[in-house]
Amino acid sequence: MGAKIIAGVDVGNSTTEVAIAEYFNGFRFLGGGLTKTTGIKGTVDNVVGIIKVLKETTASIGISLNDIDLIRLNEATPVIGDVAMETITETVITESTMIGHNPATPGGAGLGIGTTVRLSDLEGCPPGKQVIVVADLDVDFRTVAEQLNRAVARGVDVQGAILKNDDGVLVANRLNKVIPVIDEVEYIDRIPLNMEAAVEVTAPGETIKVLADPYGIATVFKLTPEETKLIVPVARALIGNRSAVVIRTPRGDVKTRRIPAGKLSILGARQRFEVDIQAGAEKVQEVIESAGKLEDVRGEPGTNVGGMIERIRHVMSDLTNQPVHNMKIQDILAVDTFIPQKVQGALAGEFSLENAVGLAAMVKTNKLQMQEIAEKLAGELGIKVEIAGVEAEMAVRGALTTPGSDRPLAILDMGGGSTDAAIIDREGHINSVHLAGAGDMVTLLINSELGLDNPGLAEEIKRYPLAKVESLYHIRTEDGSVQFFDKALDPRLFARVVILKEKGVMEPIPVKDSLEKIKLIRQEAKKKVFVTNAVRALQRVAPHGNIRNVEFVVMVGGSALDFEIPGFISDRLAEYGVVAGRGNIRGQAGPRNAVATGLVLSYEEAGGIN
């Protein structure tokens, strides 16, 4: 029998990878490649991406697609991530019962309390009256300042001003009395007049204290305990801001609608558990781990988590052409996070950060689904296709091609949707586990916590370091170092936080958060997902469930290429005395291509082609 060409194909959540080798009394690897996965992992839509990467790779190594004798696929398991809120309280406010606002460049300083009065009506205000002046739409900053100064000279107690245009500093600099001045109020014509109002502005670098505290607002407006509960979203929306205005209209009709977070029913091999999402991610994860091998997870009907779980089931049912009741969830990863919720009744689109629990769920499919992929691929290419084995076990075989590695060895295969772990002992016995939650979950958390509504941008924030453009000729990177430029940067980047991409490309991030906050959100998201999953995965495969019985860990998969994740995991595993590092598959592919390489290598154990 002559030489055979074997292709190992690893269908991942984000990428589809291939390794091609010639086999004749041993393997000679010819090359490898990757492309973006088409469709949801583990569905027939994957075939398009598989064919694409096979064509590209065979062309790059100088052979024909028809030269391949056998294609070996991994057993792919779909993973879908979604978010369940801890509690959603939607406060529908009519007649602007409470309004919060935070412009970027307010003027003046202090806390002002008074009745809202239109600028054109200021002449009619008697001396001694405490007022918050609302500037007319068509009046420029000089006229506003002149009229405010005349009113103060007459004895009117002008406590603050609210402007539509970005004129806060210009007006404040021309006043004879220091007052807080709020600007950039887009819907200034909607501000109710003759109502109680409070305006607060602090010095640059400081944050407001009174209006960012529900009890502070309650003190200003003499609210009852029940009224104080209703203004919590406004106060939370203003935490960390430099300025704010809150207006109270007693005629407002406040209605609240609460959607409970709900409970998860965990059906384990040992017994059934229930856990309330409001208990937080740590408690959810504790219950899941104590349940043993999961048989299914269900959400309470009529709740946020119930809706999320059912969406996952229906999406997978549609994709796999299987009944909804056959969709069984085999793993859940829960992490604590925050979701920006729009404050109803606000005048400038304020958001309140609500506690949330992010969930990554893994839906268990049967081998029949993978068989459909194999049959369709074989039918289109005319090449024999077989399903070779579990991803983690294949990844171990691939990881052992890393120079300097040997049995016993543990691997962490970190991709887009799942984190796999496996350990191989000296005799070659492999124990593996497949867990929900990886790179896609990190992207989801970044997107949610920064309120981006742009998964593509969140993905880039995850992948690249940050910098602050401090002048048109220099930037300060997130590690504190300064980089200078001979040519001026794009003026649109000035004073912005940017993503440092390849080839010197800088992409501005359209949020007001500081570099330090964006960096913290990015790093915490990675730790919540990858460090948590690394520990729980290794605990499941380690001898006697003790990570200290593991000596060496090789990290593979696309997320092992990240500039931070391997370091976070290495630091955490060092506490157990474990040595961890990135793999270098076949001594040349880095941490990628482990599963695809393992699929090829396992061919020899499978006994060859019939």
Residue 250: pLDDT band with limits 50, 70, 90? low
Q: Mean pLDDT, to the nearest integer, of 35-51? A: 91
Query: Which is more confident, 588 or 91?
Result: 588
Above pLDDT 90, what percent of the chain? 59
pLDDT of 99 reads: 58
Strand ordering across the sheet containing 110-118: 181-182, 157-162, 130-134, 110-118, 196-201, 243-248
pLDDT of 521 reads: 96
Mean pLDDT of the chain: 87
Query: Which is more confident, 263 or 2?
Result: 263
Q: Mean pLDDT, to the nearest integer, of 129-144? A: 90
pLDDT of 342 reads: 63
Query: Which is more confident, 270 or 139?
Result: 139
Interior angle at CA 587, CA 582 and CA 591, nearest 5: 30
Give the Cα separation of 12 and 42 in Å (integer).
9
pLDDT of 314 reads: 81
Dump pLDDT digits (tens) for 494-533: 999 999 999 999 999 998 889 999 999 999 999 999 999 9
pLDDT of 86 reads: 47
Give the Cα separation of 367 and 155 in Å (integer).
83
Query: Is residue 388 scored above 50 in pLDDT?
Result: yes
Lowest mean pLDDT among 26-40, 254-268, 593-607: 254-268
Domains and CATH numbers, the chain: 1-77+365-401+592-610 (3.30.420.40), 81-89+258-364 (3.90.470.30), 95-252 (3.50.30.70), 440-520 (2.40.50.140)
pLDDT of 301 reads: 86
Radius of gyration of the chain (CA): 30
pLDDT of 240 reads: 77
User: Rounded to the nearest 10 degrees, how much is the dihedral formed by the CA atoms of 281, 563, 435, 299?
Assistant: 40
Q: Of 136-150, 240-254, 493-507, which has the strongest mean pLDDT?
A: 493-507
Dump pLDDT digits (tens) for 210-232: 998 999 999 999 988 988 887 77
Query: Is residue 562 scored above 60 in pLDDT?
Result: yes
Lowest mean pLDDT among 141-155, 297-311, 423-437, 522-536: 297-311
Q: Mean pLDDT, to the nearest integer, of 577-602? A: 95
DSSP state of 495: T
Tokens standing for 308?
């999320």
Residue 91: pLDDT band with limits 50, 70, 90? very low
Beta bridge partners of 80: 361
Q: Mean pLDDT, to the nearest integer, of 106-118? A: 94
Q: Return the half-sphere exposure (C-beta side, CA atoms, 13 A cut-off) of residue 610.
A: 3
3-state secondary structure of 242: coil
pLDDT of 54 reads: 97
pLDDT of 79 reads: 59
Query: Is residue 233 scored above 80 in pLDDT?
Result: no
Residue type, 322: Q
Dump pLDDT digits (tens) for 345-383: 555 555 666 778 888 888 776 666 788 899 999 999 999
Q: Is 193 exposed, middle or buried (0-12, 13-18, 19+ CB in 10 A)?
A: middle
Are 590 and 556 a contacting pair, CB within 8 Å?
Answer: no
Q: Mean pLDDT, to the nearest integer, of 259-269? A: 86
Helix and strand tally (H, E) in the chain?
16, 29
Query: Is residue 148 scored above 90 in pLDDT?
Result: yes
Query: Is residue 89 scored above 60 in pLDDT?
Result: no
Q: Mean pLDDT, to the nearest integer, of 63-78? A: 88
pLDDT of 578 reads: 93
Above pLDDT 70, what percent of the chain? 90
3-state secondary structure 544-563: HHCHHHCCEEEEECHHHHCC
pLDDT of 77 reads: 59
Query: Is residue 604 scored above 90 in pLDDT?
Result: no
Query: Is residue 180 scored above 50 in pLDDT?
Result: yes
Dump pLDDT digits (tens) for 526-557: 999 999 999 999 999 999 999 999 989 999 99
Query: Is residue 609 scored above 50 in pLDDT?
Result: no
Q: Mean pLDDT, to the nearest integer, of 489-497? A: 95
Residue 90: pLDDT band with limits 50, 70, 90? very low
Query: Which is more confident, 219 or 138?
Result: 219
Query: Which is more confident, 312 or 504?
Result: 504
- What single string gives the DSSP state of each residue in 132-162? EEE--TT--HHHHHHHHHHHHHTT-EEEEEE
Query: Is residue 607 scored above 70 in pLDDT?
Result: no
Phi, then psi, of 195 in degrees rounded to 5 = -120, 155
